[in-house]
Structure 1
Amino acid sequence: MAVVRRAAKSARTTGTHHRAPDPSAGTVRASQRNLWVVGGLLLAILSVAVFLNGLTADDGDEAERHRRALEQDVAASSAPTSEEEAENIRVALAGVTDDISEEFGVTAGTTMRAGGGIVHVGELQDAPALSSIKVPVSIAAVQKSLQDGRPVEELTGDIDEAITVSDNDAALRLWESLGSDDEAATALGGVLGQGGDPTDTTVDWNRDDYEGFGDIAWTLDHQTIFANRMACVLGSEQPLDAMGRLAEEHSTGLAQLEGSHVKGGWGDTADGSFILREFGLVGPVDAQVPVAVAVIPEDGQEETAREAVAEMTRRIAPLIDEASANGGAAECQAG
C-alpha cells in the first residue's frame, strides 16, 4: 500500500532546468503589481508557518485564527482572473466528474488551474495526503542536504524509490533525514509554503490513530496550488524527474497524459474508506497544467478506484489542452 507509515512513533541541481511557461503557449503574465502580491503572500505563508511552529499548546485558538486567515488569503489570491475561461473549464470538468461518479460508483473530486486561478468540482476535497506527500518530503530532504553541505546525489536512490515505485522505507529515510518528527514537519511545511501552499503539517504524533506522515491532510486545492509553483522550489529537480518516470503499475491514471510529472497515494481514510488520489503537472511542454484528482469507491475496491481515475484521465485530456491555452498553464514548468 502507498500509505507512509512509521515503524515506531517517535544549490546543487541534477541539471534539469525548470522555467516559467512561454506566454505564447497560453500563459497569462501577471502585472508587476500582481507579482508583488504573490511574492508578499509567499512571504506571509512562510512567516506564519514559523510563527505557528513557535506557539505552545495553550495558543491553539490563536494558531487556528492565523491559519484560517492565511487560508482565506491564499484562496482569494488563487481565484481565477478570467472567470469566463475558468467557468468553461469548470462546467466541462463537472460533467466529467459527475459522469465518472455515477458510472463507477465513486465519490470524486477534481481541481485544476484554469483562467489564471484554480477551479474545483466534485464532492471530494479534504483527504489524507498518503503517498502524494512523498514529493514535498523529497524536496525538503534535498534542501536539508544543501543546507548541511552534503551531495544531493546521495538522495537519488531514495527519491527514485519513494516516488517511482512509492517505496515506504525510502520515504521514511528521507523523512528521518530531516530530524525529529517536529523538525521534519516544520521542514515539510516550509517547502509547501515556498510553493504558495498554506497546508498545516503539524500532527499530534502520539495520538492513537496516527500511522505516519501520510496522515497529514492535504486538500485537492492546496495540492494544485503547490503544483503550480513546485518547479520553482529549490530542490524540486530530482523529485520532478522521478514523477515523470513512474513504474508501469502506477501509470494508469494521470501519468497517461502528455508531459506528466505526477504522484499518487492510496489507502484508507480516517473512517476506513479506500481512497486513490493523484496530483502533479500534465499537458503540453511549456504549458503544463497543475491538477489533482481523488476518488473513493463505494465498493471499497482499489481496482474500481484505478479504473475510475484512468477513465477520468482519458476524458479530461481535451480539457487539459484547453486549460493550458486559457490561463491554466502552471507559473513554473517542469523541464
Structure 2
Amino acid sequence: MTAAGTGVATAAPPLPLPNVLPSIPGLPGPPPPPVDLGKSFAKLSRSVTKAVPGRLGVAVTPTGSGEPAFFGTVKTARAWSTLKAPVAVAAERAHVKDLQPMETKSIRDSDNASAEAIWDSLGSTRQAIDAVSAVLREGGDSRTQISSELSSPASYPGATQWATTDQSVFAANLPCLNEADHVVQNMSAVGPNQKWGLAKAKKNVQTSVKGGWGPVSENTGKYVVRQLAVVTTPRGTVGVSLVAVPASGSFEDGTAMLTRVGDWVQRNLVNLPAGQCAPPIGG
C-alpha cells in the first residue's frame, strides 16, 4: 500500500538509436546517391538556351562496348568537318603519299583544301566513299551513308548526315582502330578555331577533338556546330558527340553553347560509364 501522492518509480524509455552507421576509421563511407543525368542535363540545357537560344544534342559512349547515352533534342545533323577524322584514317590505311602535312592541316586547323586533297587521294568518288565507310563500320557506326557528288542533290562529303549517337560510338572506338594513332594525336593538338567544347581538358582528363560547322541545310545560311571527341580519364575512355543549333545561326553562339555542354560532360565523367579498347586478337 502506498501513500497518496506517491507512486512506483519507473525507468525512462530508451532514446531511439540514430539512423546512421558509425564511421569506422580507414573504411569508406556509403556511396553518394546516383546522379540523375537526364534531369541534370535538362537543367543545364535550360540555362544554356536561356543565355543563347537554340537546341542541343549530346551522346556519350564508353569505349570498347556499351550503348550510347543521349541527351537533348538534336538527334542528327550534317557532319561537316567532323568527318575529316574518318577520312584521315582511311588515307592512313591507303598509305597516301605525303599525307602527314595534309593531315596535320586538315585535323588541327580544319583546313578544307587539305581535307579535299586527302579525299581525292583515295581514288574515285566511289572508292573514297567505300574507304571512309569501311572505317565508320569498323568503328561501330553501321548506319551512316556518305554524301557526295553521286548523291542527289550533289554535295561535299561534309554534308553527310551523322546521327549524334552514331558519331559518339565511332568516337569511342576511334582510338582502337588500326592506323588511327596519328589522327587522334592531331586531334589532341587542334588550333584556336577548335578550342571550344571539350578541347580544354580538366585535371586528370585528356581530350582529342575534331570540330565541324556549316549550314544546317541547303536552304539556310544558319550554322550547326559539332564536335567529335575522345575523352580519357583514369577510369577509362569515352566517345562524345556534341551538337548545337543556335537560333542565331552563328558559329560563335554555337561554340559558346558547346563549351558549356563540354564542361557539363567533364563534371559528370565520374557518373558515366567508361571503357577501354579490347586487346588485339593473337600476338
Instruction: Pick the TM interval, shorter chain.
Output: 0.7 to 0.9
Tell me if structure 2 keeps the 8 A contact 1:267–1:274. Answer: yes
| Aligned equivalents of 2:161, 2:152: Cα separation in 1 | 17
Q: Which moved more, 1:224-233 or 1:88-97?
A: 88-97
| Aligned equivalents of 1:260, 1:218: Cα separation in 2 | 21
| Aligned equivalents of 1:223, 1:88: Cα separation in 2 | 23
| Among candidates 252, 259, 274, match of residue 328 of structure 1 | 274
Residues 1-335 of structure 1 mapped to structure 2, 5 A cutoff: 88-113=36-61, 116-145=66-95, 154-203=98-147, 205-206=149-150, 209-257=153-201, 258-270=205-217, 271-272=219-220, 273-285=222-234, 287-323=236-272, 327-331=273-277
Q: Displacement, 1:93?
A: 3.0
Q: Displacement, 1:141?
A: 0.4
Q: Displacement, 1:311?
A: 1.8
Tell me if structure 2 keeps the 8 A contact 1:96–1:316. Answer: no
Let me know the Cα RMSD of the aligned residues: 2.4
Higher relative contact order (CA 8 A, sep 6+): 1
| Aligned equivalents of 2:181, 2:232: Cα separation in 1 | 18
SS in 1 for 2:268: helix
Q: How many residues are treated as equivalent by the alignment? A: 240
AA aligned opposite 1:111: A
Change (3 A) 1:112 1:322: same
Q: Displacement, 1:245?
A: 0.3
Tell me if structure 1 keeps the 8 A contact 2:148–2:157. Answer: no
Once the two structures are superposed, residues 285-304 of structure 1 have per-residue CA deviations (whole angstroms, 9 ceiling, x without a partner) of 56222111111111122211
Change (3 A) 1:202 1:248: closer
Once the two structures are superposed, residues 47-90 of structure 1 have per-residue CA deviations (whole angstroms, 9 ceiling, x without a partner) of xxxxxxxxxxxxxxxxxxxxxxxxxxxxxxxxxxxxx97x8334
Q: Which has the larger radius of gyration?
A: 2
Q: How many percent of aligned residue pairs carry the same amino acid?
A: 22
AA aligned opposite 1:168: N
Q: Displacement, 1:201?
A: 2.6
- Larger relative strand fraction: 2
- What are the ranges of 5 or more consecutive residues in structure 2 without an aligned counterpart? 1-32
Q: Displacement, 1:228?
A: 1.4
SS in 2 for 1:124: coil
| Aligned equivalents of 1:168, 1:174: Cα separation in 2 | 10
| Aligned equivalents of 1:206, 1:268: Cα separation in 2 | 20
Tell me if structure 1 keeps the 8 A contact 2:147–2:158. Answer: no
| Aligned equivalents of 2:136, 2:151: Cα separation in 1 | 24
Tell me if structure 1 keeps the 8 A contact 2:172–2:237. Answer: no
Give the TM-score, by structure 2 length: 0.77
Change (3 A) 1:328 1:103: farther
Tell me if structure 2 keeps the 8 A contact 1:117–1:328. Answer: no
| Aligned equivalents of 2:137, 2:165: Cα separation in 1 | 14
| Aligned equivalents of 1:288, 1:200: Cα separation in 2 | 23
Give the TM-score, by structure 1 length: 0.66
Tell me if structure 1 keeps the 8 A contact 2:187–2:209. Answer: yes
- What are the ranges of 5 or more consecutive residues in structure 1 without an aligned counterpart? 1-83
Once the two structures are superposed, residues 252-306 of structure 1 have per-residue CA deviations (whole angstroms, 9 ceiling, x without a partner) of 2210123011101001021423110001112425622211111111112221111
